[in-house]
Structure 1
Amino acid sequence: MKIVALVGESGTGKSHKAMNLASSKGIRYIIDDGLLIHDAKRIAGKSAKRETTRLSAVRRAIFQFDDHCKEVKEAIERVKPDQLLIIGTSNKMVQNIARNLQIGEIDEYVYIDAISTKEEIKLARETRLKHGKHVIPLPTVEIKRDFSGYFLDSVKTIIRRREHEQETEIGEKTIVRPTFSYMGRFTISNRVIIQIVEHTCHLHEAIATVQRVRLHKHEEQIKLDLELSMHYGTFIAKSAEEIQISVKEALEHMTRLHVISVNIHVKSLNFLN
């Protein structure tokens, strides 16, 4: 197995460039921040960006947690890639990753300033330092269930395949803001979340009153139980489904939190016009 390392300081745009570099070299497996990725799908591992402290994120990224390391090692042995791209902030980091995963020595080093312009690196640094944004080279659906932080956006890029220069592919990356950041820890108060829920509910003509909003929050994932009073004559099942969808969409759009469930409890009917 040939191992290629993409090396660059934190915040210089490595993950953003990784998909194009891998495509140009015919590499289909990538290790980035604790994840083993194959063709934009997570094969094994956990993202270091889901960690709540910088120290645990570094340990996750270099596979110092035994169960995590074992999972990725077994996956590599199972899929047997002929080439592998490892992304890291220094030669020492990628060497530590290779050693911990017991996959051999690094065969080739590619440095970020060789594949990015000074302007691109400068922009990447500013984006990281000013806005705390990170890029994960996976579609949002691949990381949404267990990511600890806020989803900011998804980016689609056109990748030109090396073996067929006219053949292109659409790749998707996710821009996130982890719970750890150069800008400190980001939190959204429960009261703000409840106010968004109440406002969204009151936009529906079927609802008479929002009696209670119960919020269950774990890291940056939330479950909601809504106790509502609806107007008499309302098609309850259909209205409840519409409310579920609109509450989830409003919260995820305004807060970038991951809403796991919205449970509707119709406690009473309002007979007054």
Structure 2
Amino acid sequence: MEIICLIGKSGTGKSYRAMQVASLYNIDCIIDDGLLIYKGRVVAGVSAKKEKTKMAAVKRAIFYEDEHRRQVKEKLNELNIDRILILATSLNMVEHITEALNLPNKYEVINIEDISTKEEIETARRQRLKEGKHVIPVPVFEIKRSFSGYFIDSIKNIIVRDNKKQNVEKTIVRPTFSYLGKFTVSETVIKNIISYIVERETDALKVDTIKLDNREEGIEVAIYVTVKGLCTLNKLAETVIKKIKEEFEHITGINIINIRFIYKDLKLR
């Protein structure tokens, strides 16, 4: 197995450049901050960016915990890949990762300074220090369930692979160990936002009660409504649910696992 390492200090833009390097070396598999990423999908691991302290994040990134290490090793064996890109802050970190995952200890090293300008590195550092932004080289939909309740954004770039242009999306998060990380939205505010969206979208539904089931990956929502007049309920509910998910997740960063409408009453006009 061939190992390529992208080395750079924390906040210098390694994760931002990961897909570019992977494309250049025709690599499908990336190890970054505790995650095993294969063809743009998270296939194993837990992100160090979810940890509450920097020390816990470091341990997660070098696969210090037995179960985390076992899960990623099993997936690597299953994939049977011949080339991996490892993102790390130092050669010492690379050695910890390769030892933990039983990977070869011979590797090619690329320094972030070799592929990014001083200005680009300074911009990345400024975004990390002043805004607490961290990049994960996967699309938002791959990671948002794991980061429900965090500030999440996305960036898109074009890379060339096999002489074809590809749009690549990366996710930006603010972890709990940055000064802007996970935040809390009260249940009252959540219910008010959902109720407002429902009654703004249609006057055929009156919200009576909203019940929430909080889970680590997000919330499940049950909306009890009174139906006012005759309408095609299934189609209406589908439209309103789509609107709630789009707007609520954009406003709060909280992932909605599912939404159910429960019809309590029917009032004919």
User: What amino acid is the match of 1:81?
Assistant: I
2:45 counterpart residue number: 45
**Residue 29 of structure 1 contacts residue 84 of structure 1 at CA under 8 Å; is this kept in 2?**
yes
2:258 counterpart residue number: 261
Instruction: Report the secondary structure of 1:17's partner residue.
Output: helix
Cα separation, 2, equivalents of 1:147 and 1:68 = 18
Deviation of 1:71 after TM superposition, in Å, equals 1.5
User: What amino acid is the match of 1:114?
Assistant: D
Deviates more, 1:47-56 or 1:91-100: 47-56
Q: C-alpha deviations, 1:101-126, integer Å up to 9, x for none?
A: 11121422222122111111111122
Deviation of 1:144 after TM superposition, in Å, equals 3.0
Cα separation, 1, equivalents of 2:200 and 2:241 = 13
2:55 counterpart residue number: 55
Q: C-alpha deviations, 1:147-194, integer Å up to 9, x for none?
A: 354353332322123xx5x43333221222334423354222222222
Cα separation, 1, equivalents of 2:175 and 2:181 = 10
**Residue 148 of structure 2 contacts residue 254 of structure 2 at CA under 8 Å; is this kept in 1?**
no
2:267 counterpart residue number: 270
2:210 counterpart residue number: 213
Change (3 A) 1:139 1:184: closer
Change (3 A) 1:248 1:183: closer
Unaligned runs of 5+ in 2: none
Unaligned runs of 5+ in 1: none
1:94 paired with 2:94, answer yes
**Residue 151 of structure 2 contacts residue 182 of structure 2 at CA under 8 Å; is this kept in 1?**
no
User: What amino acid is the match of 2:74?
Assistant: E
2:242 counterpart residue number: 245
1:1-273 superposed matches below 5 A: 1-150=1-150, 152-161=152-161, 166-183=163-180, 185-219=182-216, 221-272=218-269
Change (3 A) 1:266 1:233: same
Cα separation, 2, equivalents of 1:205 and 1:108 = 59
User: What amino acid is the match of 2:225?
Assistant: L
Instruction: Report the secondary structure of 2:174's partner residue.
Output: strand
Deviation of 1:133 after TM superposition, in Å, equals 2.0
| Fraction of identical pairs, as percent | 45
Cα separation, 1, equivalents of 2:147 and 2:15 = 17
Cα separation, 1, equivalents of 2:169 and 2:202 = 38
Cα separation, 2, equivalents of 1:217 and 1:128 = 30
Cα separation, 2, equivalents of 1:244 and 1:148 = 18
Change (3 A) 1:184 1:142: closer
Cα separation, 1, equivalents of 2:10 and 2:143 = 21
Q: TM-score, normalised by structure 1?
A: 0.89
**Residue 150 of structure 2 contacts residue 181 of structure 2 at CA under 8 Å; is this kept in 1?**
no
Deviation of 1:260 after TM superposition, in Å, equals 0.4
**Residue 22 of structure 2 contacts residue 28 of structure 2 at CA under 8 Å; is this kept in 1?**
yes
Deviation of 1:32 after TM superposition, in Å, equals 0.6
Deviation of 1:92 after TM superposition, in Å, equals 1.8
Cα separation, 2, equivalents of 1:271 and 1:54 = 59
Instruction: Report the secondary structure of 2:9's partner residue.
Output: coil
Cα separation, 2, equivalents of 1:249 and 1:21 = 33
Q: C-alpha deviations, 1:85-110, integer Å up to 9, x for none?
A: 11112222221111111112142222
Cα separation, 2, equivalents of 1:184 and 1:43 = 24
Instruction: Report the secondary structure of 2:125's partner residue.
Output: helix
Q: How many residues align?
A: 269
Cα separation, 1, equivalents of 2:250 and 2:27 = 35
Q: TM-score, normalised by structure 2?
A: 0.90
Tell me the C-alpha RMSD between the 2 structures: 2.2
